[in-house]
Amino acid sequence: RLLAGAPPAGPVDAVVLATATPDHLCPGTAPALAARLGLGTVPALDIAAVCSGFVYGLALCHGLVASGLYGRVLLVGADVYSTWLDPEDRSAGVVFGDGAGAALVAAGQAGDPGELLAFDLGSDGTGYELITVPGGGARSRASGKPPALSDAYFRMQGSTVYQHAVERMTGSCRTLLERVGWDPAEVEHFVPHQANARILRAVADRVGIGPQRCVTHLERVGNTGAASIPLALADAAGRGVLRGGDRVLLTAFGGGLTWGSAALRWPGTPQTDSTISTEGTQHVAVR
C-alpha cells in the first residue's frame, strides 16, 4: 500500500529503505525515516539497487523474517528523481517522477493467499557507468579533480540500457517461471518496473505474456524508480484488478547494473491481512 506517513498498526521490528536518492551521502536515510514514523530505535538500513530496489528489498525482508531474526519488517521504496535531473535535459525530465510505496513483511501461516514462491536476482558491475550520477561520491572526490557541474546530474546511456534491460528482465523472468513451474500463460498479472512502455512491451512479448495481463502505471506517474512496482500494485489493487490468489510476476532492472524478479500469489486488497510463505519452517506474511 502507499506509505501514508503514519506507522503501520502493531510493532515494526526493522525498516528497509530502497532508494537511489537518499537525503545525504552520509548517513543513510532509513534511520531518519524510522524516527519520523515513530518507530523508535528499530534497526534501519538503506539499500541502493536503483530501480531494482523494491524487488531486492522484498528478498532481503523476506530473508530477515524467514530466518527468525525479525518478525515484522517495513519495506519502503522511495525516490525523488526530480532532485537529480539536469534541467537542460528535456528527454529525461519527461520520463521520471517522484514517488514512494511500502509493504509490511511479517511472519504468517503457510498456504494462505499471498504465498511468495521464489526470487531471481542478479548484477553486472561492468556496466555501472550506463546509469549513474558521476559526481559527489568518494570515487570522484578521490580523483583530485574539480567536479564538472554536469556531474551532479543523472546520466543514462539510453539505447544500451534498453538492450540490457530487455535482455536481463526477460532472462530473469524465464528463469523464475521455470523455477516455480509456471507457464507464461498462467501468469495472471505481470508487473514490471515502470521504466518506459517500449521496454515493458518488449519484455512481456519475449516472455510470452499478453498486454492485457501487464500492470502499468507509468503513463500517469512516470518512472518512479524503486517506488514504481509498489505504486503500480497499489493502483491495480485500488481499481479491483488484482484478486486474492492471483499469480503475480514482478521484474525490475536498474543501475549497477542490477535486476531481479519475484513470483507470488496476490494477498488481496491492500486493506486485507494476508500471507506469503517460504519452504522452510518459518513462514512470512505481507500486510
Residues with active-site annotation: 51, 193, 223
Tell which phi-psi region holds residue 237, choosing left (phi > 0), alpha (psi between -120 and 50) or beta.
alpha
Residue pair 263/111 in contact by the 8 Å Cβ criterion: no
Who's near 116: CB < 8 A, 6+ residues apart?
A: 58, 62, 262, 263, 264, 265, 276, 277, 278, 284, 286
At 223 the three-state DSSP class reads strand
> How far apart are the C-alpha atoms of 158 and 179, rounded to whole Å?
31
**141: Cβ contacts below 8 Å, ≥ 6 apart:** none
Rounded to whole angstroms, the Cα distance separating 233 from 28 reads 27
3-state SS, residue 72: strand
CA neighbours closer than 13 Å in the CB half-sphere of residue 96: 24
C-alpha R_g of the chain: 18
Are 36 and 74 contacting, i.e. CB atoms less than 8 angstroms apart? no
The conformation of residue 214, written as its DSSP 8-state character, comes to: B
| CB neighbourhood size of 149 (10 A) | 9
